[in-house]
Structure 1
Amino acid sequence: MVKRMGVSIDDLSNKKTIILVTGTEQTKIALTHQLNEYLGDVVNIQGFAIDEGIEEMIDGEIILLSSEIVKEELINLKLLREEKEVIVAQRTIDYDCIDELVLIPEGIDVLFVNDAKESTYDGIEILKKLGFDYVNFIPYYPGLSYVNKKKIDIAITPGERDKVPSFIKKVVDIGPRIMDITTIIHIINTLKLDCYKGRLLTENYLQKIIKMAKRLSQYTNKISSLNNHLHLILDGLHDGLLVYDQGGFITVYNENVKKLIGTYFGDIKGKKITKVIYNKESLNFLLDKRVNNEKIFSLDGNNIIVNKIFLENINCSIAVFKSVTEALKINNKIKLELMKKGHLAKYSFSDIIGSSDKIVKVKEIAKKLAITDLTILIEGESGTGKELFASAIHQFSKRNKGPFLAVNFSALPDELIESELFGYEEGAFTGAKKGGKPGIFEEADGGTIFLDEIGDISLKMQARLLRVLQEKEVMRIGGHQIKTVDVRIIGATNKNLAQLVKEKKFREDLYYRIKMGYIRIPPLRERKEDLRDLINHLVKIEAGKNINVEKGVIEELLAYDWYGNVREPRNVLSYMLAVREGDVLTIKDIPDYGFFIKNLEGKTLYNCTLNLNNELIFLLKKIYELNENNIIVGREKLADVLKESGFSMTPAQIRVRLEKLEKMGLIIKKKGRIGTIITTEGKKLLNTK
């Protein structure tokens, strides 16, 4: 039996499958090529792009998504099973495609063009870390309202040429962003392909970066720092990274690893690993080249997970360091949020927009409850504004001079909930802060605690919470001293707590203790008369200037049921403001029906038979004209025809509109040489226009 890298050919015949889903075809091609380069001999890779259309539920050993935006869109399309393993790729610049950048003159303004604000700023940051900090990057993305055309001639883009403005004279396309090394390692570990790690990282990723650094350093000394053994590149990684030879001498590292292991040295390159890490157990693990594994250690008082790989071809090891759990990251985020909030309520009743009878009644009840000291349960669907009401109640109460703290139970495990709510003493557990830490009940003394998603709390934590509500006393984890606290509790949930009580998933005594005061916030679809005020308010807040709204826009939006509640019109208005022309929002600015939240039956909330806007009529006419001339109608052909008519539209946008026309029975989409054809009903409609 023939073997390769310790794996038999018989083993390879049963390949595992990676399902790759991207937003665009170009990104799909780039990431598929990268995956084939690293893993093509041991896995099957099936690529899909949303702009090409995905008609069936995807399935495979692992689902790899190119971005969080793609994840959200798949969920909306109901193409993503929650139980499947999902990895959202961390993306970086393709180092093979940046040679031309060194020819850009120093000190000039250069447009950096990408598909969204966040990815634009991420790309600029990566290029600066690579050493391209001698030019002035100007961010540009769809929806940006102003750019100084006189000063800028050159644009850099990671594969988004169609988004480069027309006044640009030269475009430097560095290709779509690819996955970074931490994502590759994540995939390897998830699929348990440990025997391939050494060859994978040696022959591909590290060698590619090293060659790139050498190549660019020969072009110009402006970016000579790139040749410093990948230091600046590796600093862009999210985790700590350490590369060391057989003798234990460090050859490559990034700044994050110094923070995680707690070293106080400046430059640790060339130092022996035993001089910067003192934990004996972790050193034995790192220096044992026979072990390719991951393990958890306590380094400098922090719990760190270390993933180590020995690279046989170059006789060195690479170790990736990261925080032991996502819970610690959440804990840090909570601390930062509390610091930003200053323990103060941000909203009052005047911030609750609406004048309908239903919302006015709820506000009146909330004000009456606010002046009492009762615990309150707020029920409402996601996005109805439960935290806004809780904040307003605190502001209206006699406790308004005290702190207001919010905790979301849905994102936290029991251990973190317990330490956050009740605090801990020094030495209570590994990683406990020196001197201990007060819990939220102590910090909120004299004020209000908002317990969001209280329906997600475990039965164990329900018992502890009930004792605090009954006794008004808390004791820190690992402590012996009981402290009296004066705190008002406002709980909130989007679940049916009464049903959870029947199912024994929520304590009945805690349910009645919390529900001494009760508020139900009606969903937006039950108070549509508030939509006009809400839209005007959101336009004013989002636009920052005077923007008019056509009467027809309000009437059109009233046709939707808004299952996303207040959050959804905020998203819709943000979109409309981004794509508008001038200072007036018109019906054509309303996104297509696929943009909107769907109801439980999966039917879109957009009633596509109610209206057929000018954009769709124009598209239908072009399809008819092409049919009459016996020209096959596909998305690419339509994009070209529309562009010639001064009505530019991407193939992805055309796909959405074709689906809409097909559901109306106005066209039929055929594959192959037939293409899209207009129906008799479609022709009749054109005759009436």
Structure 2
Amino acid sequence: MKTIVLITGAEVTRKFLHNQLQECLGEFLFIKSYAIDEGINKNDICGDLLVFSSKTAYDRVNRINIDIGHIPFVIAKRTFNFTNINKLFSLKPGSEVLLVNDLKESIDNMIEDLIELEIKHITFIPYYPGIDKYKCYEIAVTPGEIDMVPKGVKTIIDLGSRLIAMSSLIEIMNAVGYYDQRENDISSKYVEKMIEIEEELSITNNEVITLNRGLERVLLQLNKFQIKDYKNLLQFQRSLALVENMKSGIREDLYKKRYYAKYTFEHIVGESKEINEVKNIAKKLAGTNLSILIEGESGTGKELFASAIHNYSSRSDGPFLAVNFSALPENLVESELFGYEAGAFTGAKKEGKIGLFEQAKGGTIFLDEIGDASLAVQMRLLRVLQEKEIMRVGGNRITPIDVRIVAATNKSLIELVDEGKFREDLYYRLKMGYLVIPPLRNRKEDIADIIKEFFIRKRSKMKVSDEVAEIFNIRQWRGNVRELINTLEYAYEFCDSGYIKEEHLPIDYKNSRTHSNKSIKKSIDYELKTILEEIYKYQNKNIVIGRKFLSEALRDKGLNFSEQTIRTKLNHLQDLEFITKSKGKSGTKITSRGIEWLKQNG
């Protein structure tokens, strides 16, 4: 096995590039490495090939009078580490930043590479040691040369040490006479490494474009060296196909993993005052970057609101990830949310795993049933909200995140706080934005709209009978909108006519109607009595009222009925011969029988 000797300036660069060479070429070559800053002597310079990390490293070796003799050498070309390049997308378009490196030549090469990667929304101002004049800016970008950043810079974006480019890896293998035998192995390893790096990138449109361009550059480099015969052409085409599959695969993965928001505010059905107020608040919150707590009973549509908020926000192009604490085993919650490092626990993947918070970068994470989170998880969530950073399970590296948190619960979190089961500080951190979704029984006028929307989506002309509409308006709907939809689904399958009748409803509806006649009668009596009183009152004033007017008058009495519901109830009163209905000026009038009933039940 032949030996190559890597020579760098700094120790940190040596370690980084040694690992890369070991990963890509370690199967074929023995790799030694030395950093000039750590001291180097002539005896270290022995091998089949020298690899200098830069022209600067080569010049420094010559300046300290170390004779490299007749050993062949390669001065490596370097490219960006795609794991870190996505940090540049957090900068606003038009930003001016210092680009810091050891030499002007290095900076010029960096700028050229960045432009090739379509990073054109930033103006880079060169800075290197010995520059005559420079203006200090608030932000500096550097490829691992943090010590060279001038004083006065407030924010440093460290892109990390740059990788040895594919063209240089091929040059190294050519120099030792191995490339013809190992070309496919090297290229596939390099492309695999790029794909592995891609998986760590947050999935946003700009970053996907950047990644694709970077991969295309890699394959163009392969093209210069590889496409020499039919066999290599096939290998190259497979690499191209791999990248093309990645492009479509990213979005396919989003779909498969449900990393997208399915609903918008248009999916929230209802025009009641109660639901419109909540929708208006939700839209205003969507325009902020506040964390949001959504409270509401089971089935009220908390995830629907969370999804709509995401799609209405500036993060709508980013991922939307949902996790349900009640559905996840306790021992998996932390690893799912925060990810884990290799070997973190028994059964862990050898390469580790990226967590949902990292995958949601640039988007929204929806924490459903937050009241079921353990105190240990609550403590880690608090850190995320406070510091905007996470640490993987079994790791020691802090990772900054850019994620909006929307949490939901059907429990009273303040009661859990009083019981010591929920952290008070986390409660108020989550509650920076606050929504309470009203139960269906408090907005029964929306029932008719929900039914109508249900049949529209079914593309059906089916309707519910008046008796079923009455049952629906009496029911308390403990399962809320979800219960109503499930009931309609059931009845839709059993109905063999154009109208859903009581016989088509689930059996518990019939039982509850049978066993609760007294309470239902009491409810009906109160509603009918109030409607009759309003009709009688305005009739005595010689005022003709329609359904809309009556609906508004009843709302003042605490009865929120839609015009459709009013029509159903008026039909019922007409069947009882308590009122008469006619079109035109006569309108709705109470009958003598209706007046008599009012007197008896007054």
The TM-score normalised by the length of structure 1 is 0.38
Q: RCO greater where, 1 or 2, for CA within 8 Å and sep 6 or more? A: 2
The structure with more helix, counted as a fraction of residues = 2
Instruction: Look at both structures and tell me which one has the larger radius of gyration over its CA atoms.
Output: 2
The TM-score normalised by the length of structure 2 is 0.43
